[in-house]
A and B are shown apart, each in its own frame.
Chain A
Amino acid sequence: MRALLASLRLAFASLLARKARAALTALGILIGIAAVVVVTALGTGARARIGGQIESMGSNLLFVFSMPVMKSGAKGRAGAQMGLTDADADAIRREAAAVTAVTVYSEVSSQIVSEFGNAKIGVMGVDHDYFPVRGYEVANGRAWTLGEEQVKSKVCLIGRTAAGKLFGNVDPVGRYLRIGRHPYLVIGTLVPKGESPFEDQDDRIIMPIGSWRARVSPTLGNRVMLIMASARSTAYVGPAARQIDAILRQRHGIIEGEESDFKIRTQQEFQKTQEAIFGVLTLLLVSVAGIALFVGAVGVMNIMLVSVTERTREIGIRMAIGARRGDIQLQFLAEAVALTLGGGVAGLALAAGLIFALGRALDWELALSATAVWIALGTSVVIGVASGFLPARRAAALDPIEALRHE
C-alpha cells in the first residue's frame, strides 16, 4: 500500500511535468465520468418525481376500464350489457371486502364559457366518493351535498389551471360558467395536485355524475367510463383486484377462460410501467455517456503508448540504475491511474455543479449520491488500470541496452 501511494505520488509528479498533455487526456475521462454521473442522477430524480406524481393520484388505487371485446372479428358483445355502469360500482362497493371506497367517473372535453373568456376543458362527472379516492380536497367554497347530487344540481368545482383559463385572477367561487346551453354555479375550487404522468390534474371541472349525465353528455345513459376503487391498504391491492374481477365477471356473465369486457389496473402497475420506461431511458443515456467514457479511456491508452515511446531512454536509465520490470510497469500503470483518477475527481466536481444547477433550473430533487461518488472513483481507477496495462507492459518489456541507446 505504501509502495502504491509512493508510485502514485511519483506519477502525479511526472504528469505535472507535462501539464497540458495530462490535462487534455484527463479531460476525456472528466467528460465521461461527469456525463455518466449526471445522467444517472437525472434518471433517479425523474423516477422519484414520476413516482411522486403517481402517488399524488390517490392511495392504493385500482382503475377498472371498460374494454371492447373482439368476437368473430367484430367489436362489441352480443347479449350482455355494454361497459361499466353505476350498478357495477354499487356491487363493488357492497361486495368487495378489500375495497374501502368506490367512485365512478366519466369525462368529456367541452368548450366552456365564463364572463371573462372561454376554453376547452375536461368536464368530469363523478360521485361524492371521488374526493377521498383520488385525494382531491376543496380549497375554497364547498363540495356539493348529497342532496345536490340527487337532484342533479347545476353546480361544479374547478381546478386551479382551469380557473386560471376561465377566470384569470378573479375568485371563481360564486360565479357562473356555461357548458353548452346550461349555466353552472362554481361552488368551490380544488386544492392543486400538480401533474400526473398522464395529465394536468388541475385542468378540470368536476360535477355530480347525475348532473353530468343529464346535461353535459346525455347519450351515455347509466354507463360510466371508469370505476375507481381504493383498497384498504397496499397489501389489499391484490385481493381487491381479484374481488373486483370476480364480481364484474359474474355480473357481466363472463365464463371462466373467456375474455372479459373490462380491465383492472392498479396504481402500482402504472408505477412499475413508468419505472420500467425510465429504467430503459436511463440505461440508454448512461450507455451513451459510457461511450464518452470509453473514448476517454482509449485516449488515455493512446497517450500512455506515446509516452512509453517518448520516454524509452528514461525507462532505460531507470532500468540501468536498478528498476525491476515490476517497478517500470507499476510506474506507468500508476501514471495512467493518476490521469484517470484525476479526471474522475474533476468529473465528479463538474457533475456535482451540474446536478446542483439542473436541480435548481428544473426544480427537481437531484442529488449526487455517495454510491455514485464511489462508483465513479472505482470506475476511474479500473479504467486507468485497463488503459494503462498494455503500455505499462510494453515499457516493462523493453531491453535496457536498447532503451538506453534510444534517442
Chain B
Amino acid sequence: MTPLIVLSAVAKDYATGPEVVRALIDVDLEVGEGELVAIVGASGSGKSTLMNILGCLDRPTRGRYELAGVDVTRRSADARAVVRNRLIGFVFQGFNLLPRTSALANVELPLVYRGVGRRERRRRAERALAEVGLEARAGHTPAQLSGGQQQRVAIARALVTEPPLLLADEPTGNLDTRTSHEVLALLQRLVARVGITIVLVTHEADIAACASRIVTMRDGRVESDHPNLPVSAEALLGGRPEASA
C-alpha cells in the first residue's frame, strides 16, 4: 500500500532581492496512513515551508509531491484548492475561524466549497461538532468561545470533509498547557478512531512526545526522523495512563 504522503527531493527557493533563500533542500519524506507525525525544529528551519507544501498552499521549486497516490506537484491554483478541500484538513495556531460567524457555520464552510446542499451540510457539521464535544456551542461565535473551544471548532471544521490528512501548524501555540493536552488528546483519539493521518508542527517537547514519529528539521533539511512511543495526552491530563496511539 502506498504511503499517503510521498515527498521526493523536494526543494523550495525564495528569491528575496538578489539572494536566493533555500528554504527546503532535497527533502524526502513518506508518511503512512494513521501516523501522527510531529515536525520540530528551530524557527527558520523550514518547517512552515514544508507544511505549506504538504498543505498544497505552495508548490515546490523542485522535486515531486504525491498525496494519496496523486501527483500534486504542478497543479494550478484552482486544482490545489480542490485538493485542499477534498484531501486535507487544516488546523492553525491562530484558530483562523471566521469572526462574527457561528461555530456551526464555520464548520460548514468547507462543505460550501464542495457544493454540498444546505441540509446535508448542517447535518454533517453538527456531527463534526459533536465529535469534538461542542454540539452545545453550535450557535456561538468565536468571540464567545474560549481558546480551547475555538481550536476544537477548527478541528471540527478540518474533519467535516472527512479528509485522509490533517495538518496542524502549532495547534497548541496559543493555548495553556492543560488545554493543549486536551487538544492533543482529541487528536490522538481521532487517529485511533478514524485512522486519520496527522502532521503537526510544534516546538513544544511535551506535544511532540505525543506523536508516533518525530521529524526534526534543520536549515531546510530533515535532520532526524525516528519513531516515537507516544505519550498519552489523556494520561497527562490525569486520566488512565495508557498509550492511546
Contact = CB atoms under 8 A, between A and B. Distances in A.
Interface string A322-338: 11111100000000000
Contact of B85 (A322, A326, A404): A322
B109 A401 contact: no
Contacts of B109: 318, 321
Interface string A1-27: 001001000100000010000000000
Nearest to B113: A322
A322 B81 contact: yes
A232 interface: no
Interface string B91-132: 010001111110000000110111100000000000000000
Interface string A297-321: 0000000000000000110111111
Contact of B110 (A3, A6, A322, A400): A322
B82 interface: yes
B19 interface: no
Nearest to A407: B94
B55 interface: yes
Interface string B28-67: 0000000000000000000000001001011000000000
Contact of A313 (B58, B84, B96): B96
B78 A320 contact: no
B77 interface: yes
Given A314-B98, A404-B96, A321 B77 contact: no
B78 A326 contact: yes
B230 to A, nearest CB: 27
A317 B158 CA distance: 12
A321 B86 contact: no
Contact of B113 (A313, A324, A404): A324
A126 B101 CA distance: 82
Nearest to A400: B57
Given A17-B100, A327-B113, A404-B96, A322 B58 contact: no
A319 to B, nearest CB: 7
Contacts of A314: 98-99
| Residue of A318, A322, A326 with highest tally of chain B CB at under 10 A | A322
A49 B85 CA distance: 63
A401 B54 CA distance: 13
Contacts of B92: 404
A314 B96 CA distance: 8
Given A400-B57, A401-B52, A323 B98 contact: no
How many of chain A's residues touch chain B, expressed as a range? 20 to 34
A320 B55 contact: yes
A320 B90 contact: yes
A324 B58 CA distance: 14
Nearest to A320: B90
Contacts of B86: 322
Given A17-B100, A401-B58, A404-B96, A319 B52 contact: no
B152 interface: no
A321 B78 contact: no
B157 interface: yes
Interface residues of B, number: 27
Query: Which residue of A318, A319, A320, A404 has the most chain B CB atoms within 10 A of its CB atom?
Result: A320
Nearest to B83: A322
Contacts of A325: 77-78, 81
A351 B114 CA distance: 42
Nearest to A314: B98
Chain B CB within 10 Å, residue with most, of A318, A324, A401, A404: A324
Interface in A172-228: none
A102 B81 CA distance: 85
A197 B231 CA distance: 96
B98 to A, nearest CB: 6
B116 to A, nearest CB: 11
A4 to B, nearest CB: 13
Interface in A364-407: 400-401, 404
A320 B98 contact: no
A308 to B, nearest CB: 15
A321 to B, nearest CB: 4
A77 to B, nearest CB: 85
A317 B96 contact: yes
Contacts of B110: 321-322
Contact of A323 (B57, B97, B99, B113): B113
Contact of B57 (A3, A318, A324, A401): A401
B57 to A, nearest CB: 5
A321 B115 CA distance: 13
B60 to A, nearest CB: 14
Contacts of B112: 6, 10
B56 to A, nearest CB: 9
Contact of A321 (B58, B100, B101, B157): B157
A321 B90 contact: yes
Q: Quick one: which of A10, A319, A321, A327 has the most chain B CB within 10 A? A: A321
Given A325-B77, A326-B78, A401-B52, A320 B57 contact: yes
A313 B97 CA distance: 10
A79 to B, nearest CB: 91
Most chain A beta-carbon contacts within 10 A, residue among B82, B86, B97, B109: B109
17 contacts: A6-B112, A10-B112, A313-B96, A314-B98, A317-B96, A320-B96, A321-B84, A322-B84, A322-B86, A322-B110, A324-B78, A324-B82, A324-B113, A325-B77, A325-B78, A327-B81, A404-B96
Q: Which 5 A-B pairs have the closest CB atoms?
A: A322-B85, A322-B113, A17-B100, A324-B81, A324-B78
Interface of B: 52, 55, 57-58, 77-78, 81-82, 84-86, 90, 92, 96-101, 109-110, 112-115, 157, 161
